Structure formats: structure tokens, C-alpha cells
Amino acid sequence: MKHQELISPLDNRYSKKIVDLANNFSESNLNKTRLEIEIDWIIFLTTQCGKNFKPLSSAAKNNLLFIKKSFNDKSAKRIKTIESKTNHDVKAVEYFIREEMNKFSNLKKYQHLVHFALTSEDVNSLSYAVLLRDAQDIYIKKLDALIKDLNSKSKSWATLPLLARTHGQAASPSTIGKEVKVFHQRLTRQKEILKKMKPMAKFGGATGNFHTLILSDASIDWVSKTNKFLSSFKIEQNPITTQIESHDGIAEICHCIQRINNILIDLNQDMWIYISNDIFKLKLKDGEVGSSTMPHKVNPIDFENSEGNLGLSNSLMNFFADKLTKSRLQRDLSDSTVLRNLGVGFGYGYLGICSCLNGLSKIQPNKQNALTELDDNWQVLAEALQIVMKLEGYDNAYEEIKNKTRGHNIDKDSYLKIVNELKISSKSKDQLKKLTPSNYLGIASKLAKL
């Protein structure tokens, strides 16, 4: 099929943005990973698993490693050809390895060890764990770029005053940098949680009881042995399973990415509103069109694109976490087709990060508008008025200031009039007169620089 005829936008419109993830989750890479596991298992059996497994000569081992390193597009196509007959993907990989081993005289006597004592789920479980391990690295690298950008902006904009809004209404002022810092901190926390999550795999045979391995040599502690094998792939073993690994670890990863997606959606929506309120200006780019009919338009399309892609990722991640943790009795096959789509969930989440980064690169604070908005809302200093009154012992301070400010248009003159009429000390009045909506910021600037 031609590139533009592919059904998924991940494979056509957005393909260049997710190359690393696409390569990682491709069926070709899945089969390559399966092949590597099968060959490494043969080497492991013949070097570390006792007298019942005839040791490999150096030449034989080198030939196995050659098969492993020689996997290419031709290998991938051959496996698919075999699968068209077997209707079983892991078995197709096994038969392909046997074909390759048959080309070397010193490997023919080891062909019986291909897929020895394994069920296909052992190989798949470890393969998907490896793919997830690498996908996490790719994803976190892009997330890190966004986190660093937010940190840089929070510090650059640390002192720029901003009218805060709670329930959409004017509230105690903040700074642009501090509000950006909120998202930096939230994403940093989730990133650290995601980094600690390790995909799990099982290697215990048909129903997870190590039947065939025990049969091959009952004197070996196969739980420890298989754990050592999985550890070589930097994967944690789940030793107590049915035929399939429970996928709880995958669910944890999916839920974490959902939380990251939701934080980013929150960021996108806030940026969209700030742009709409003219707190941020969008940088112009020659040649870009905002509307097919309204020439003046400059739209926050990157934040909108990000929000849409993150929503798609959320739907998939939620489904993965819900579906994959359930399997009838010792197994059913409904998880198999679902696992093949893990890359799609990652892909849309990754795109969401890319678009958000692109959006952030196009905005700049509209300082004058931010200050004008603050100057139009002196009522936000009502909080300061009632607090200072309470400090001087006025129990009904809140109610008194509420009557003077709620529903009233408060500007600088009316604010100062209220201050002068208050029955408080001259010192407190002087303190309040120094306040303006643009300097009543608490420690927002300091927080933004943390």
C-alpha cells in the first residue's frame, strides 16, 4: 500500500514524528525480539543448565549469534511466509530459526533445543516486556524535553504578574512562571514514578508450573534459573502465573501514562484559555494559514492537536489496563490481539507531547494585557483587606469587606477609599496602600524558581 493509503494517521500523517516508537513496536521488531530470546535461551541452556544439555562449542555459539545478528527485512518476510501456513506467529519464528540452524552443520544437533520447554506465552511475555522497556525509554526522553522546557519557562516568567481565576472569576494574583511551574512539578512526579516501573514477564511453561523444565532436570532450581535469564534482559520475573503473565505491570504503566496525559490535557486547555484571553500571544510563522476564510486568524492548533491525541491515548490506555488484567481461567487468547496495539496507545501519547512542545515554542507572554487585566480587578485585594483587619482583632472583617466589594466595580481609587475608611492602625493602612493587584503575589516568584 502507498504511504497515504494507510488507515491510521500514526502510519501516514504523523509517521515521521513517531519513527522510534513505530520501529520499536513494529511486528518486525517483535519477531526479531522473539528470535533473540529463543537463541539466547539455547545458549543459556547449554552453558548454565547442567549435564542434560550438551555444551556448545565456540564455533557453534558464534553461528547462533550470527543468526541472531543477521535478522533483516528478508528474515521478517520469511517469518511471515511461514506464519501464513502455521497460523501461529511464535511457531513461525521457531521454524525460521530451525531453517537457519540447518545451514550450519555444527548446529543441527541443537535444533531440538529451539523453543525447548517453553510455551509461546513465555516468549511473548518476555518479548512484550522488552518492547515496553524500550518504549518507556523513548517516551520518557520526549517527556523530559517537555519538562525541561516548562522549567525554563517557569524561571523566565517567574516575576510576570498574572490575574488568577478560580471558578473563572478573578482571584488572588499569581505569576505566569509559577502557574507553569505547577505543570512542571506534576509531570516530574509522574515521570519519576514511570521510570521506576518495570515490565514483568513469566517463563514457567504451559500453565506456569515449570512442568517441562522440572522434567528435564529436577535437581535445578528453575525459578532461580529463569529469573537469571530474564534479568539478562533487564526484565523482572513474575514466578507465580497461569499460562500468561497477569499484565498488572502493564496496567500500572498504562495508568501512569493516563495521568501524564491528563496533566498535559489540563496544560493544553489552560494555555488555550490564556491565549483566548490574550495573556499569551502566538508567534507568527510565514506561510501558515489560520482559517480558510478569515485571513487574520492565528489559532492555537498545536495545543488542540495535543489534546485530541492525548484523549485517544487515554481511551486506549484505559482499555489496556481494564482488559489485559482479566483472563478466563488459565488463559484465553483475547489479550493477544490487544497487546499488538500497545504501540498505538504510546504513539498517540507521544504525539500529544510533541504537539504540546510545539505549541509552547510559539507562545510569548503579553505583558501589557496581563497588567491591564490586573489593573481592572482591584477587588482581588479584598482578601488582603480582611486578613489585615483580622490581624487587628476584627472578628467580622470578612463580612464587612464582602459588603464593600462583592458585586462592586473596584478600581484603584475605590480601593484606597475603602482602606482609608477602615478602623485600623495607620501602620496597617500604609501596608495596604502599598498593595496593588500586580504586586500582591505572595511568594509566587520564588515558587516558580524552585
- Domain with 128 in it: what CATH number? 1.20.200.10
Whether 49 and 156 have beta carbons less than 8 Å apart is answered as no
pLDDT at 165: 97
Find, among 200, 194, 197, 199, the residue nearest to 143 by Cα.
194
Q: Would you say residue 413 lies in a domain?
A: yes
Q: Would you say residue 80 lies in a domain?
A: yes
Helices and strands per DSSP (H, E), number in the chain: 19, 6
| Same domain? 165 vs 184 | yes
Q: Would you say residue 210 lies in a domain?
A: no
Q: What is the per-residue pLDDT across 262-320, written as a single tens digit (0 to 9) for each?
A: 999 999 999 999 999 999 999 877 667 665 566 666 788 999 999 999 999 999 999 99
Q: What is the per-residue pLDDT across 229-240, written as a single tens digit (0 to 9) for each?
A: 999 999 999 999
Find, among 352, 344, 350, 345, the residue nearest to 309 by Cα.
352
How long, in residues, is the chain?
450
| Same domain? 44 vs 84 | yes
| Same domain? 248 vs 390 | no
| Same domain? 319 vs 394 | no
- pTM of the full predicted structure? 0.94
| Mean local confidence (pLDDT), 178-182 | 98
Task: Match 458585586 to its residue by C-alpha cell.
Answer: 407
Catalytic residue among 8, 70, 291, 361: 291
| Same domain? 152 vs 290 | yes
| Same domain? 363 vs 425 | no
What is the signed CA dihedral for 301, 298, 268, 173, rounded to 10 degrees?
180
> pLDDT tier at 338 (50, 70, 90 boundaries)?
very high
CA quadruple 248, 130, 125, 345: dihedral positive or negative?
positive
Q: What is the per-residue pLDDT across 417-431, written as a single tens digit (0 to 9) for each?
A: 999 999 999 999 999
| Mean local confidence (pLDDT), 390-416 | 94
Ranking 25-29, 192-196, 252-256, 293-297 by mean pLDDT, the lowest is 293-297
**What is the rounded CA–CA span in Å between residue 139 and residue 313?**
13
Q: What is the per-residue pLDDT across 202-221, written as a single tens digit (0 to 9) for each?
A: 999 999 999 999 999 999 99
| Same domain? 132 vs 277 | yes
**What is the rounded CA–CA span in Å between residue 76 and residue 281?**
50
Residue at a domain's end among 350, 370, 390: 370
pLDDT at 6: 83
Residue 105 is among the residues annotated as catalytic for this protein: no
Percentage of the chain modeled with pLDDT above 90: 92
Percentage of the chain modeled with pLDDT above 70: 97
| Same domain? 251 vs 103 | no
| Same domain? 397 vs 277 | no
Q: Would you say residue 328 lies in a domain?
A: yes
Whether 92 and 174 have beta carbons less than 8 Å apart is answered as no
| Same domain? 47 vs 81 | yes
**What is the rounded CA–CA span in Å between residue 304 and residue 307?**
5
**What is the rounded CA–CA span in Å between residue 118 and residue 440?**
68
Question: pLDDT: is 285 or 111 the higher one?
Answer: 111
**What is the rounded CA–CA span in Å between residue 268 and residue 282?**
14
| Same domain? 84 vs 185 | no
Q: Would you say residue 230 lies in a domain?
A: no
- Sort 439 into a burial class: Cβ within 10 Å, 0-12 / 13-18 / 19+: exposed
| Mean local confidence (pLDDT), 389-393 | 96
Catalytic residue among 3, 167, 219, 296: 167
Q: Would you say residue 449 lies in a domain?
A: no
Q: Would you say residue 11 lies in a domain?
A: no
Domain count, the chain: 3
Residue at a domain's end among 84, 116, 148: 116
pLDDT at 36: 98
Q: What is the per-residue pLDDT across 3-27, written as a single tens digit (0 to 9) for each?
A: 778 889 999 999 999 999 999 999 9
- Residue 396 sits in a domain whose CATH number is 1.10.40.30
- Residue 81 sits in a domain whose CATH number is 1.10.275.10
Judge whether residue 174 has pLDDT over 80.
yes
Residue 224 is among the residues annotated as catalytic for this protein: no
| Mean local confidence (pLDDT), 85-89 | 95
Q: Cα 369 vs. chain centroid, distance in angstroms?
A: 34
Judge whether residue 158 has pLDDT over 90.
yes
pLDDT at 292: 58
Q: Would you say residue 227 lies in a domain?
A: no
pLDDT at 286: 67
Output the CA–CA distances (angstroms, integers) from residue 395 to 113, 398, 415, 427, in the order listed. Answer: 84, 8, 21, 19
Find residue 365's DSSP bridge partners. Answer: 280
Which domain covers residue 44, as residue numbers? Answer: 18-116
Cβ atoms within 10 Å of 413's Cβ, excluding its own: 9
**What is the rounded CA–CA span in Å between residue 347 and residue 241?**
29
Residue at a domain's end among 116, 141, 166: 116
**What is the rounded CA–CA span in Å between residue 124 and residue 247?**
12
| Same domain? 296 vs 365 | yes
Judge whether residue 97 has pLDDT over 70.
yes
80-95 residues labelled b (16+ CB within 10 A) or e (exposed): eebbeeeeebbebbbb
pLDDT at 2: 72
Judge whether residue 392 has pLDDT over 70.
yes
* DSSP secondary structure letter of residue 189: H
pLDDT at 233: 97
pLDDT at 298: 77
